[in-house]
Amino acid sequence: MSHESSDLKIPIQQHTLENGLKIILSPDTTAPIVTVAVYYHVGMRLEPQGRTGFAHLFEHLMFQGSAQMEKMELVKRVQENGGTLNGSTRTDFTNYWEVLPKHTLELALWMEADRMRGPRITDIELDNQRDVVKNEIRVNVLNRPYGSFPWIDMPGLAWNNWHNSHNGYGDMVDLDAASLDDVNEFFKSYYSPSNAALVIVGDFEVDEAIKMAETYFSDIPSITPPEIPNMDELEWTQERVFEKEDALATKPALAISYQVPQRNSPLYFAMGLLDQLLLQGDDSLLHQELVVKKGLTGHIGGGINFLGHMFNSRTPLLWTSSLIYDETTDSDEILEAFDKVLTGVLNEHISPEILERITLKMRSSFYDIFAGSSYPGFGRADLLASFALIDGNAERVNEIDSLFRAVSLDDIYNAANEYLSSEKRTILKIIPGLSNQTQEVS
């Protein structure tokens, strides 16, 4: 049979309201449902210093009531109309979404517009959600082994710029310090239609949906958000090695991070393919060397962007590999095997066959983002919002395939040599121990 590739063609219409709200519509009649997602262009990187975790806490507060809805009423409305919902906080965004039967689209837009006008909360709701967020951090970080490894630990050690390095999930002391004044200030600065995107995916009429969005969102006043601070990082010129004790861990672990090329720069897409070549899947070179050939670990994992993938964050970002191994194995043995793989890619061009394979893998895993979420339509909405807010054009989603296909053997070689040499990396070793101390060892 022929292997003519079926290209991805996501239907997209874009529209901007006078107040600056970007609207992206992507109809799909696969099922009688709609996904409504509102993305605010503020995430962990922009929260105030001394208030780590504030963007995340604020996300929780957006479910605690607004002008026309009581605490949790939005959740109630979504559920009683047959829908499901969630929110999340990432490096550059905070997002809120619902998936609902198609006939409730207008209600979903009304609710999102109502909370875009601002949360209506008191200290009671703030204190309650502070406790909830603290319990979230306990269950996912503090009360389990390897809880902050490497997703919180590594940025904290590798990055020099506070915006990139601080713990955006939340520090207990900073969470305690958060006040209603902080809530108002943060809202006024960043939660504005001009700093947001509304995405609708699913079974709806485009013209009707635009009309509805105009009805509910167009009178929301807009402000100009503060200028984005400098988030650049210095180029690394010397390998750094850190050791951290994890009181709950019983086995050592290792993470190795490199900076990736700037988003959309010529080598950025080559880096995406290098990730496929080196780290993703059982055919990846690191898996075959460290897991299959040497038996040093059962799994080596990682990738680009701890809180998502290479498409839904701005750079700077890290490309990180991490693994847990036995206490009888020396970490030098792991690094030696790791370096053997990296050196191969740094010294020689990969073959055209391998380039073809990793390009196919990339395409396949890119498609999985659309189908893979437990919230139907959300994967697509997330990509559309990311391309709209970061790159200024949601249509870019249909160009990604061809951008990866344009990567050459030279690009792969050059990206490896510019970004993956050993002096340009940060290494973190987790030592099973009694305390939670960290130290730089070289």
Partner 1 sequence: MIPEPKVLTPKPFVLPNVDKWETSNGLSVKFVEVGIIPKAYFLLSMKFGSADELNSQVWIYRLISDYLKEGTIDLDGNQIADKAASLGGRFDVNVDDDHLTISGSVLTEFSTEFIELIGNIVKNPRFPTESLSRLRDDLLRDLELMKVQPSILASATFRQALYGNSGYGLSLSTPEIINNFSTQTVINSYRKFANPHETKLYVAGMFDQEILKEAIENTFKEWSGSTSDHIERALPESSRKIHLLDRKNAEQSTLAIGLPVITPSDKNYVPLVVMNALLGGSFYSRITLNIREDKGYTYSPRSMIASHPTSAYWFETADVTTNVTGASIEEIFKEIDLIRDTKPSMEELNGIKNYVSGSYIMRHTTPGAIIGQLAFLDLHNLDESWAKNYIADVVALNPSDIQQIAKQYLDPSIMTIAIVGDGELIKEEIASFAPVEEISVESLSP
Give, as ranges, the residues between 309 and 348 that touch partner 1 (CB under 8 A).
Answer: 324-326
Cβ burial of 386 (10 Å; 0-12, 13-18, 19+) is: buried
In this structure, the number of other CB atoms found within 10 A of the CB of residue 10 comes to: 16
How far apart are the C-alpha atoms of 358 and 327, rounded to whole Å?
34
Residue 245 in contact with partner 1, rule: CB under 8 A: no
Among 23, 133, 385, 416, binds partner 1 (CB under 8 A): 133
* Residue 323: burial class (beta carbons within 10 Å; 0-12, 13-18, 19+): buried
Which sign, positive or negative, has the C-alpha torsion 168, 171, 173, 179?
Answer: positive
Taking CB atoms within 8 Å and a gap of at least 24, the contacts of 229-234 are: 229/46, 229/163, 230/161, 231/45, 231/161, 231/163, 231/164, 231/314, 231/316, 232/161, 232/316, 233/159, 233/160, 233/161, 233/164, 233/259, 233/316, 234/160
Stretch that binds partner 1, among 16-24, 75-83, 163-171, 402-410 (CB under 8 A): 75-83
Q: Enumerate helices (H) and strands (E) in the chain, giving the number of each.
A: 16, 12
Residues making up the chain, counted from first to last: 442
Determine, following the binding rule CB under 8 A, whether residue 15 of this chain makes contact with partner 1: no
Given 364, 408, 436, 439, the residue binding partner 1 (CB under 8 A)? 364
From 333-341, 372-380, 391-399, 403-411, give the range in contact with partner 1 by CB under 8 A.
372-380
The DSSP secondary structure of 276-292, one letter per residue, reads HHHTSSTTSHHIIIIII
State how far the Cα of 108 lies from the Cα of 100, in Å rounded to an integer: 8
What is the x/- site pattern for partner 1, positions 79-98, by CB under 8 A? xxxxxxx-------------
Nearest distance from residue 70's CB to partner 1, in Å? 11
CB nearer to partner 1: give 31 or 177: 31
- Residues 285-314 within binding reach of partner 1 (CB under 8 A): 287-288, 292, 295, 297-298
Binds partner 1 by CB under 8 A, chosen from 120, 240, 251, 424: 251
Nearest to 258 by CA among 161, 342, 163: 342
Nearer to partner 1, 216 or 306 (CB): 216
Among 339, 368, 399, 440, binds partner 1 (CB under 8 A): 368
Task: List phi, psi (to 5°) of 201.
Answer: -125, 140
Could you say which DSSP state residue 394 is in? G
Q: Which of 22, 56, 309, 361 binds partner 1 (CB under 8 A)?
A: 361
Is the backbone peptide bond immediately before 150 cis, with ω within 30 degrees of 0? yes
CB of 282 to partner 1, least distance (A): 4
Of 232-240, 258-266, 363-371, 392-400, the segment contacting partner 1 by CB under 8 A is 363-371
By C-beta, is 283 or 336 nearer to partner 1? 283
d(CA 313, CA 304): 10
* Residue 158 buriedness (CB in 10 A; 0-12 / 13-18 / 19+): buried
Residue from 15, 107, 331, 398 touching partner 1 (CB under 8 A): that is: 107
Please identify, using beta-carbon distances, which residue of 27 and 156 lies nearer to partner 1.
Answer: 27
| Per-residue tokens: 45 | 């990187």
For position 367 contacting partner 1 by CB under 8 A, the verdict is yes
Q: Does 75 sit near partner 1 (CB under 8 A)? A: yes
CA 418, distance to chain mean position in Å, is: 24
Q: Which two tokens stand for residue 414?
A: 């050059």
Choices 129-137, 237-245, 409-417, 419-427; region in contact with partner 1 by CB under 8 A: 129-137
Residue number with CB closer to partner 1 (234 or 371): 371
Please say which residue, 135 or 265, places its beta carbon nearer to partner 1: 135
Phi/psi region, residue 202 (left: phi>0; alpha: psi -120 to 50; beta: rest), is left
DSSP code of residue 253 = E
Question: Which among 13-21, 28-36, 409-417, 421-429 is the span making contact with partner 1, rule CB under 8 A?
Answer: 28-36
Size of the site for partner 1 (CB under 8 A): 88
Q: Show contacts with partner 1 in window 189-218 (CB under 8 A).
A: 215-216
Per CB under 8 A, 145 contacts partner 1: yes
Closest distance of CB 6 from partner 1, Å:
4
**Toward partner 1, which CB reaches closer, 296 or 342?**
296
Pick out residues in 49-68 that bind partner 1 (CB under 8 A): 67-68
Give the one residue of 50, 122, 123, 139 binding partner 1; rule: CB under 8 A.
Answer: 139
Stretch that binds partner 1, among 255-263, 308-316, 351-359, 410-418 (CB under 8 A): 351-359
**Alpha-carbon gap, residue 373 to 37, rounded angstroms:** 14
CB nearer partner 1, residue 138 or residue 188: 138
